Amino acid sequence: MPKLQLLPVPLKVVISLTLVILAIGYLVALANLYLTYNLTDGTPGLSPSDLRRAFYGNRDNTKLAAKINGGSMQQFLPKSGDKERILSWIQDGAAEPDYQAAVRPILQANCVRCHNPNGLQRFAPLTTYEQVMAVTQIDRGEPVSLWARVAHTHLQSIGLIFLVLGGVFSFTGIRDRVKIVILVLPFAALLVDFGTRFLAKYSPGFVYLMLASGAAIGFSLGAMTLVPLYEMWLGRPRKAD
């Protein structure tokens, strides 16, 4: 089969642009991942603690209390005493009359602009007492329904991306043994990533395996992008193995 160096220039351009666009998309996905989870534990910077809080939860606390007391929502309650009123309401049993009198005005003033059916946080609305009660339960991390919704779309779409990258990478001049390892690695890591995301709900230690699988995906995607680009434009033809 022809080497990448021998392809017509227009085809090289198309392949190169595809690889670059997919790589940019991956970097944007990393940025989204960081922005989504970096404040989950209340401290800037993405860490295993953020992933534990997101996927395993805080079993010693309710989800709402964990978010406003040291979590990512605390910054949106700048007025002194507001956080303490909500925490006291939760600890006193989260009764509806007290919600209407003390808690609802705080949420309306600080949270509902995003936590509504049409807002940025529409998956966790806080516009009614029933919706607020749903997050005053014990924090057990992201629900299985959310995992399933994310997993099935990401497994299919990312799998197709690796099909494209792997198809191009398979024409490179790297030794077949190394090539096969790099081709298999992202598919295996993708399954591990979403598998451990599910299992972390039951055992927080799985977040470290999740991080390792993410690193493996990043490494393999980098290799499958940079090696073909190098061989098409800078490399010299080599004999096939």
Q: What residue ranges do the domains of the chain occupy?
A: 4-39+143-233, 58-134
Q: pTM for this one?
A: 0.75
Q: For 96-134, how does the pLDDT look when each residue is reduced to its tens digit (9 = 90+)? A: 999 999 999 999 999 999 999 999 888 889 999 999 999
Rounded CA separation 79/102 (Å): 14
Q: Which of 154, 70, 148, 67 is nearest to 111 (CA)?
A: 67
Rounded CA separation 207/205 (Å): 5
Torsion sign across C-alpha atoms 134, 37, 193, 206:
negative
Q: For 40-75, how does the pLDDT look when each residue is reduced to its tens digit (9 = 90+)? A: 887 889 999 999 989 998 887 898 998 898 888 999
The residue written with tokens 């940019």 in the block is 24
- Residue 115 · residue 125 · CB < 8 Å: yes
- In this prediction, residues 19-36 reach a mean pLDDT of 96
Q: Which of 191, 189, 169, 190 is nearest to 180 (CA)?
A: 169
